[in-house]
Amino acid sequence: MSLKKIYLIAEVAQGFEGKLDLVLKHIELASKSKIDAIKFQMIFADDLSTIDYKYYKLYKSLELDYKDWVLIKKKCKKKKIDLILDIFGTKSLEIAKKINPSAVKIHPTDIDNYEFLKKINNSNLKKIILGIGGSYINEILYAKKTLKNKIVILMMGIQNYPNSLKDNSLYKFEKLKKIPKLKNSLFGFADHTDTKDKNYYEYIAAICLGLGVNYFEKHFTINRNLKLEDYETAIEPKSIS
Protein backbone atom coordinates (compact mmCIF):
# COMPACT_ATOMS: atom_id res chain seq x y z
CA MET A 1 0.00 0.00 0.00
CA SER A 2 1.27 3.47 -0.82
CA LEU A 3 1.21 6.06 1.97
CA LYS A 4 2.22 8.97 -0.28
CA LYS A 5 -0.82 11.06 0.59
CA ILE A 6 -0.35 10.64 4.32
CA TYR A 7 2.30 12.49 6.29
CA LEU A 8 3.81 9.53 8.11
CA ILE A 9 5.42 10.12 11.50
CA ALA A 10 7.74 7.48 12.93
CA GLU A 11 7.12 7.74 16.68
CA VAL A 12 10.21 6.61 18.58
CA ALA A 13 8.99 8.25 21.82
CA GLN A 14 11.27 6.96 24.60
CA GLY A 15 12.49 4.05 22.45
CA PHE A 16 16.01 5.51 22.28
CA GLU A 17 16.27 4.88 26.05
CA GLY A 18 18.54 7.86 26.66
CA LYS A 19 21.22 6.71 24.20
CA LEU A 20 22.34 9.09 21.45
CA ASP A 21 23.58 6.26 19.24
CA LEU A 22 20.09 4.73 19.26
CA VAL A 23 18.57 8.08 18.28
CA LEU A 24 20.91 8.35 15.31
CA LYS A 25 20.28 4.73 14.30
CA HIS A 26 16.53 5.32 14.28
CA ILE A 27 16.99 8.41 12.10
CA GLU A 28 19.21 6.51 9.68
CA LEU A 29 16.72 3.68 9.19
CA ALA A 30 13.65 5.89 9.14
CA SER A 31 15.14 8.05 6.38
CA LYS A 32 15.74 4.93 4.25
CA SER A 33 12.13 3.90 4.77
CA LYS A 34 10.76 7.04 3.05
CA ILE A 35 9.08 8.25 6.24
CA ASP A 36 8.24 11.96 6.35
CA ALA A 37 9.15 12.66 9.97
CA ILE A 38 10.63 11.06 13.04
CA LYS A 39 9.51 11.97 16.55
CA PHE A 40 11.25 11.68 19.89
CA GLN A 41 10.17 12.58 23.39
CA MET A 42 12.50 15.26 24.74
CA ILE A 43 12.57 14.09 28.33
CA PHE A 44 13.82 16.14 31.27
CA ALA A 45 12.95 14.78 34.68
CA ASP A 46 12.30 18.21 36.17
CA ASP A 47 9.77 18.95 33.44
CA LEU A 48 7.78 15.88 34.36
CA SER A 49 7.96 15.29 38.07
CA THR A 50 9.30 16.18 41.49
CA ILE A 51 12.46 14.52 42.74
CA ASP A 52 10.55 12.25 45.13
CA TYR A 53 8.41 10.71 42.37
CA LYS A 54 9.07 7.00 41.84
CA TYR A 55 9.93 7.42 38.15
CA TYR A 56 12.19 10.46 38.57
CA LYS A 57 15.39 8.40 38.17
CA LEU A 58 13.96 6.72 35.09
CA TYR A 59 13.24 10.12 33.54
CA LYS A 60 16.80 11.24 34.37
CA SER A 61 18.18 8.21 32.53
CA LEU A 62 16.33 9.33 29.37
CA GLU A 63 17.81 12.82 29.26
CA LEU A 64 20.05 14.05 26.46
CA ASP A 65 21.74 17.44 26.63
CA TYR A 66 21.45 20.45 24.35
CA LYS A 67 24.43 19.59 22.15
CA ASP A 68 22.95 16.12 21.55
CA TRP A 69 19.68 17.63 20.33
CA VAL A 70 21.59 20.00 18.05
CA LEU A 71 23.36 16.98 16.56
CA ILE A 72 20.05 15.16 16.17
CA LYS A 73 18.56 18.11 14.28
CA LYS A 74 21.61 18.20 11.99
CA LYS A 75 21.35 14.46 11.37
CA CYS A 76 17.70 14.78 10.38
CA LYS A 77 18.50 17.66 8.03
CA LYS A 78 21.29 15.65 6.41
CA LYS A 79 18.99 12.65 5.97
CA LYS A 80 16.14 14.83 4.69
CA ILE A 81 13.64 13.75 7.29
CA ASP A 82 11.60 16.12 9.44
CA LEU A 83 12.23 16.20 13.19
CA ILE A 84 9.29 16.39 15.59
CA LEU A 85 9.71 16.62 19.35
CA ASP A 86 7.37 15.94 22.24
CA ILE A 87 7.85 18.65 24.83
CA PHE A 88 6.68 18.54 28.44
CA GLY A 89 7.82 21.70 30.18
CA THR A 90 10.09 24.75 30.32
CA LYS A 91 13.42 23.05 29.63
CA SER A 92 12.26 21.04 26.62
CA LEU A 93 10.42 24.08 25.26
CA GLU A 94 13.53 26.27 25.53
CA ILE A 95 15.66 23.74 23.64
CA ALA A 96 12.97 23.26 21.01
CA LYS A 97 12.87 27.03 20.45
CA LYS A 98 16.61 27.02 19.80
CA ILE A 99 16.83 24.07 17.42
CA ASN A 100 13.46 24.80 15.73
CA PRO A 101 12.11 21.33 14.78
CA SER A 102 9.50 20.92 12.07
CA ALA A 103 6.85 20.60 14.79
CA VAL A 104 6.41 19.96 18.48
CA LYS A 105 3.78 17.75 20.04
CA ILE A 106 1.85 18.51 23.19
CA HIS A 107 0.75 15.45 25.15
CA PRO A 108 -3.00 15.13 25.88
CA THR A 109 -2.27 15.49 29.60
CA ASP A 110 -1.14 19.08 28.91
CA ILE A 111 -4.22 20.13 26.95
CA ASP A 112 -5.43 22.17 29.93
CA ASN A 113 -1.95 23.35 30.99
CA TYR A 114 -2.80 26.82 29.75
CA GLU A 115 0.32 28.60 30.99
CA PHE A 116 2.42 26.10 29.04
CA LEU A 117 0.23 26.53 25.96
CA LYS A 118 0.58 30.31 26.19
CA LYS A 119 4.38 30.02 26.31
CA ILE A 120 4.29 27.84 23.22
CA ASN A 121 1.95 30.26 21.45
CA ASN A 122 4.39 33.13 22.15
CA SER A 123 7.38 31.15 20.88
CA ASN A 124 8.98 31.00 17.44
CA LEU A 125 7.66 27.47 16.88
CA LYS A 126 5.29 27.32 13.93
CA LYS A 127 3.56 23.94 13.90
CA ILE A 128 1.98 22.28 16.91
CA ILE A 129 0.59 18.76 17.14
CA LEU A 130 -1.98 18.81 19.92
CA GLY A 131 -2.83 15.44 21.44
CA ILE A 132 -6.57 15.28 22.09
CA GLY A 133 -7.06 11.67 23.18
CA GLY A 134 -9.52 11.53 26.09
CA SER A 135 -10.21 15.27 25.96
CA TYR A 136 -13.55 17.06 26.18
CA ILE A 137 -14.68 19.24 23.28
CA ASN A 138 -14.44 22.42 25.36
CA GLU A 139 -10.83 21.54 26.29
CA ILE A 140 -9.94 21.07 22.62
CA LEU A 141 -11.58 24.35 21.60
CA TYR A 142 -9.94 26.35 24.37
CA ALA A 143 -6.49 24.86 23.72
CA LYS A 144 -6.79 25.56 20.00
CA LYS A 145 -7.86 29.13 20.77
CA THR A 146 -4.88 29.54 23.10
CA LEU A 147 -2.58 28.38 20.28
CA LYS A 148 -4.14 30.90 17.90
CA ASN A 149 -0.80 31.99 16.41
CA LYS A 150 0.16 28.47 15.36
CA ILE A 151 -0.62 25.83 12.77
CA VAL A 152 -2.37 23.22 14.92
CA ILE A 153 -2.87 19.55 14.07
CA LEU A 154 -5.41 17.82 16.31
CA MET A 155 -3.99 14.35 16.98
CA MET A 156 -6.43 11.72 18.17
CA GLY A 157 -5.34 8.33 19.49
CA ILE A 158 -6.07 5.66 22.07
CA GLN A 159 -3.45 5.81 24.83
CA ASN A 160 -4.42 2.43 26.33
CA TYR A 161 -2.30 0.10 24.22
CA PRO A 162 -1.66 -2.18 22.51
CA ASN A 163 -5.26 -2.02 21.38
CA SER A 164 -7.29 -3.95 18.84
CA LEU A 165 -8.38 -2.68 15.45
CA LYS A 166 -11.96 -2.10 16.63
CA ASP A 167 -10.90 0.08 19.59
CA ASN A 168 -9.68 3.04 17.54
CA SER A 169 -13.02 4.92 17.37
CA LEU A 170 -12.19 6.53 14.03
CA TYR A 171 -15.85 7.58 13.69
CA LYS A 172 -15.01 10.43 16.09
CA PHE A 173 -13.29 12.30 13.26
CA GLU A 174 -16.64 12.79 11.54
CA LYS A 175 -18.10 14.18 14.77
CA LEU A 176 -15.15 16.54 15.29
CA LYS A 177 -15.38 17.85 11.74
CA LYS A 178 -19.03 18.79 12.26
CA ILE A 179 -18.16 21.18 15.11
CA PRO A 180 -18.29 24.68 13.56
CA LYS A 181 -15.24 26.02 15.42
CA LEU A 182 -13.17 23.06 14.20
CA LYS A 183 -14.10 23.58 10.57
CA ASN A 184 -11.02 23.41 8.32
CA SER A 185 -8.91 22.03 11.18
CA LEU A 186 -6.03 19.68 10.44
CA PHE A 187 -6.33 16.19 11.93
CA GLY A 188 -3.95 13.36 12.72
CA PHE A 189 -4.17 9.90 14.22
CA ALA A 190 -1.70 8.17 16.55
CA ASP A 191 -2.06 4.44 16.02
CA HIS A 192 -1.32 2.06 18.91
CA THR A 193 -2.72 -1.08 17.34
CA ASP A 194 -1.12 -4.38 18.25
CA THR A 195 1.36 -5.33 15.50
CA LYS A 196 0.79 -9.09 15.67
CA ASP A 197 -0.88 -8.51 12.33
CA LYS A 198 1.62 -6.30 10.52
CA ASN A 199 -1.04 -5.01 8.12
CA TYR A 200 -3.25 -3.41 10.77
CA TYR A 201 -1.55 -0.03 10.55
CA GLU A 202 -2.01 -0.02 6.77
CA TYR A 203 -5.75 -0.62 7.10
CA ILE A 204 -6.06 2.16 9.66
CA ALA A 205 -3.96 4.55 7.56
CA ALA A 206 -6.22 3.86 4.57
CA ILE A 207 -9.35 4.55 6.63
CA CYS A 208 -7.80 7.75 7.99
CA LEU A 209 -7.02 8.90 4.46
CA GLY A 210 -10.64 8.33 3.49
CA LEU A 211 -11.72 10.41 6.48
CA GLY A 212 -9.55 13.31 5.40
CA VAL A 213 -6.88 12.68 8.04
CA ASN A 214 -3.45 13.42 6.62
CA TYR A 215 -1.11 12.99 9.59
CA PHE A 216 -0.50 9.44 10.74
CA GLU A 217 1.73 8.53 13.65
CA LYS A 218 2.96 5.00 14.32
CA HIS A 219 5.52 3.72 16.83
CA PHE A 220 8.78 2.85 15.11
CA THR A 221 11.65 0.69 16.31
CA ILE A 222 14.84 -0.49 14.66
CA ASN A 223 14.21 -4.10 15.69
CA ARG A 224 11.33 -5.49 17.74
CA ASN A 225 13.56 -8.25 19.08
CA LEU A 226 15.51 -5.62 21.03
CA LYS A 227 12.34 -4.92 23.04
CA LEU A 228 13.01 -1.19 23.29
CA GLU A 229 10.36 1.00 24.90
CA ASP A 230 6.94 0.74 23.18
CA TYR A 231 8.11 -2.01 20.84
CA GLU A 232 4.76 -3.82 21.27
CA THR A 233 2.98 -1.44 18.90
CA ALA A 234 5.97 -0.49 16.77
CA ILE A 235 6.68 -1.27 13.14
CA GLU A 236 10.16 -2.01 11.84
CA PRO A 237 11.91 -0.46 8.83
CA LYS A 238 11.36 -3.60 6.75
CA SER A 239 7.59 -3.20 7.16
CA ILE A 240 7.46 0.16 5.38
CA SER A 241 10.45 0.23 3.05
Q: Which of the two residues, 216 and 167, has the higher pLDDT score?
A: 216
Tens digits of residue pLDDT in 36-67: 999 999 999 999 999 999 999 999 999 999 99
Q: Please name the residue ranges forming H helices in the chain.
A: 20-32, 45-48, 56-61, 66-78, 90-99, 114-121, 137-146, 172-177, 200-210, 237-240
Distance CA 175, CA 3 (A): 25
Statement: residue 168 has pLDDT above 90: no
Average pLDDT over residues 208-220: 91
The whole model's pTM is what? 0.93
Strands 215-219 and 151-157: unpaired
How confident is the model at residue 195, as a pLDDT? 64
How confident is the model at residue 164, as a pLDDT? 65
Give percent of the chain above pLDDT 90. Answer: 71
